Structure 1
Amino acid sequence: MTPRDAADEPSDTPSGSPSSSSSGSPDASRWSDLERPPLNAASLRRALVRDGGLWTSLEVVPATGSTNTDLAGRADELPEGAVLVAEEQSAGRGRLDRRWSAPARSGLFFSVLLKPGPDVPVERWGWLPLLAGVAVATGLSRVAEVDTALKWPNDLLVTVGGEERKAGGILAERAGGAAGGGAGVVIGIGVNVSLRAAELPVPGAGSLALAGASTVDRDPLFRAVLRSLEQSYVDWRAVGGDPAASRLQETYAAGCATLGRMVRAELPGDRSITGEAVAVDGDGRLVLATGDGVQEPVGAGDVVHLRGV
């Protein structure tokens, strides 16, 4: 997700469809799909950017490659709380450098810049993508009135036709720290909002619309997500990023669909582990209980849900 209003996918970002870039001038494409109106940038700024709040700027761009890339490139010159939203993103990235794109105005594609130091030790920054996952799921559930869950570490799941589908994802990347700008984290968030069945590239993809959302109006959805993210982040930062004291660890576990499931973790170096996901530890790692009685924490890799327990 880059600084110009595009949003990258975070860890396994939303599964979108090939981007349907409009040809012709931006004005000609602005209302090319009347069911997908543009975001109201001025209204969003009035609602979200305020004195004393976390969000310090909000920029909406018609299109960009990646909002994460754009925002990370400007991390040293921007204060904490900068938000970059894109109506269309052509080179969004997910975990393991996966590429992702979706039709213009079919979802929420944005990145935010957070600078938790010196309040939070760097070793706890790894909780930020999980925190973002909880905040996104909470905000969307409240406004769209759909059941959401999280697949470890931070894929957003919804139910479509009785099946779990991925409707969003999060990617966190370290940024800044040069020229006295202060190191930070850029969190890219992508959510499929109005994606139609014919636009889904794979069977495992989903959207809020397909999950029966009460609204696919992106303005209130976006406001809800950013307000939820602000509250979660402020609470977490106030206790030095402690996942127990902030109740982040507890809240994440309560909404994680991976726990209690048999899973296969595909790890770097062509190694895999199969076991029951039994916990998320204090470092945000997924703990697997394997068949030989060993509990092994997994900090990175792809996790595949095999069956319920």
Structure 2
Amino acid sequence: MTPQDAPDENPDNSSDSAPGGRWSDLDRPPLNAAALRRGLVRQGGLWSQVEVVQRTGSTNADLVARAAEGKAAEGAVLIAEEQTAGRGRLDRQWTAPARSGLFFSVLLRPSEVPVARWGWLPLLTGVAVATGLARAAGVDTTLKWPNDLLVTVGGEERKAGGILAERAGDDAVVVGVGINVTLREDELPVPQAGSLALADAVSTDRDPLLRAVLRSLEDWYERWRAAAGDPVVSGLQEKYAAGCATLGRVVRAELPGNRSVVGEAVAVDGDGRLVLATAEGVQEPVGAGDIVHLRPA
């Protein structure tokens, strides 16, 4: 189903309470698209358009296609109540029940920033999401390099979200975010997954959570863009390192060609790469685009 097939409002209210309808799970009310637009779209702000669709394959794929067709401006935000073909890195599948999380993509055109620094965008988004959730949900969210959002459930670190950045032509990037908000234990796709609810969030109301995350993303993006993408001047490199759960741990980076590197994660360098200190005394940087898996060693 394309976004055009899925309007903000359901014209047939009689089907809202049917199985799978918008109000079939009263603990998971639909997002208020009009209120989100009022709260986020403003003169001089980053967000130019906020659209909520009931169901689509992938918000990232939809927004990349719109950008290619010249139908989306910078700051376009596309949110889905349900994704049927959500993707993570390396086309890994992301699935969740309807209205159980925040699944959205944004279109950015950082023309003031050298393309060589665009690799910081998923890390910037991670910082922004963690900051926004800490404020609005009261949940301590940490970052697993390069693109996972972690929460603590019963003393155990679990993945509650992920980030996927994709180029959209020569001048744009689409950044997609998926966050598990109200998933219950019996709904988790894998035992290592988590959600804000399972992490004892003080609020799981998705409207204020989404507003907080997008406002935080706007703040960090503008700060980074004003610094021409410099991660030091913008404060991004320091902030990311402070919230990165990977640093200080011994990990195994599995690379293409059945190659792997084992070492202590000691830094995130100026290009956003994870620096591993190996037992041989070598510091080896690993780029997000090169890595297949990053696991505890």
Q: Normalising by structure 1, what TM-score? A: 0.88
Counterpart of 1:12?
none
Structure 2 counterpart of 1:109, one-letter code: F
For residues 270 and 144 of structure 1, the distance between their equivalents in structure 2, rounded to whole angstroms, comes to 40
- The residue that corresponds to 1:185 in the other structure is 173
8 Å CA contact 1:4–1:63 kept in 2: the answer is: no
- 8 Å CA contact 1:286–1:298 kept in 2: the answer is yes
Partner of 1:142: 135
Which of the numbers 87, 98, 123 marks the counterpart of 2:116?
Answer: 123
The one of 11, 34, 55 aligned to 1:63: 55
SS in structure 2 opposite 1:269? helix
Equivalent pairs, count: 282
Unmatched 5+ residue regions in structure 2? Answer: 7-13
Instruction: Spell out the pairing of 1:282-301 with structure 2 (5 A cutoff).
Output: 282-300=270-288, 301=291
Q: Deviations over 1:192-235 (max 9, x none)?
A: 00000000121110000000000110000000000000000000
In structure 1, list runs of 5 or more residues that go unmatched. Answer: 7-23, 178-182
Q: Which runs of 4+ in 1 moved over 6 A?
A: 2-6
Asked if 1:170 is matched to 2:163, the reply is yes
Equivalent in the alignment of 1:238: 226
**Alignment check: 8 A CA contact 1:59 1:84 kept:** yes
Is residue 167–residue 191 contact of structure 1 (8 Å, CA) maintained in 2? yes
Residue 159 to residue 212, structure 1, CA distance change in 2 (3 Å): same
Match of 1:217 in 2: 205
Query: Within the alignment, does 1:160 sit opposite 2:156 as a pair?
Result: no
- Write the distance in 2 (CA, Å) between the matches of 1:154 and 1:4: 29
Which among 195, 217, 222 is matched to residue 207 of structure 1? Answer: 195
Show CA shifts across 1:163-203 (max 9, x none): 000000000000034xxxxx200000000000000001211
CA deviation string 1:247-267 (max 9, x = no partner): 100000000000000111111
Distance 1:157 1:151 in 2: 7
Give the CA deviation at 1:26.
6.2
**Aligned partner letter, 1:144:** A
Measured in 2, the distance between the counterparts of 1:103 and 1:5 equals 20
Is the CA contact 1:5–1:60 (under 8 Å) kept in the aligned structure 2? no
Q: Secondary structure at the match of 1:207?
A: coil
Inter-CA distance 298–218: structure 2 relative to 1 (3 Å threshold): same
Instruction: Report how far residue 77 of structure 1 moved.
Output: 2.4
CA distance in 2, matches of 1:95, 1:4: 26
Q: Give the whole-Å Cα distance in 2 for the aligned partners of 1:234 and 1:5.
A: 33
Contact 1:5–1:64 at 8 Å: present in 2 too? no
Counterpart of 2:82? Answer: 88
Kindly provide the amino acid, as one letter, of the partner of residue 64 in structure 2.
Answer: A
Distance in 2 separating the partners of 1:147 and 1:194: 16
Q: Confirm or deny that 1:79 pairs with 2:73.
A: yes
Match of 1:305 in 2: 296
Q: Are the aligned partners of 2:16 and 2:23 in contact in 1 as well (CA < 8 Å)?
A: no
* 1:39 is aligned to 2:31: yes
Tell me by how many angstroms 1:5 deviates.
11
Listed one character per residue, the Cα deviations across residues 239-286 of structure 1 (whole Å, up to 9, x for unaligned) are 100001001000000000000001111112221111100000000000
Distance 1:294 1:279 in 2: 13
Q: State how far apart, in whole Å, the 1-side matches of 2:4 and 2:88 are.
A: 17
Question: Whose relative contact order is higher, 1 or 2, with alpha carbons under 8 Å and at least 6 apart?
Answer: 1
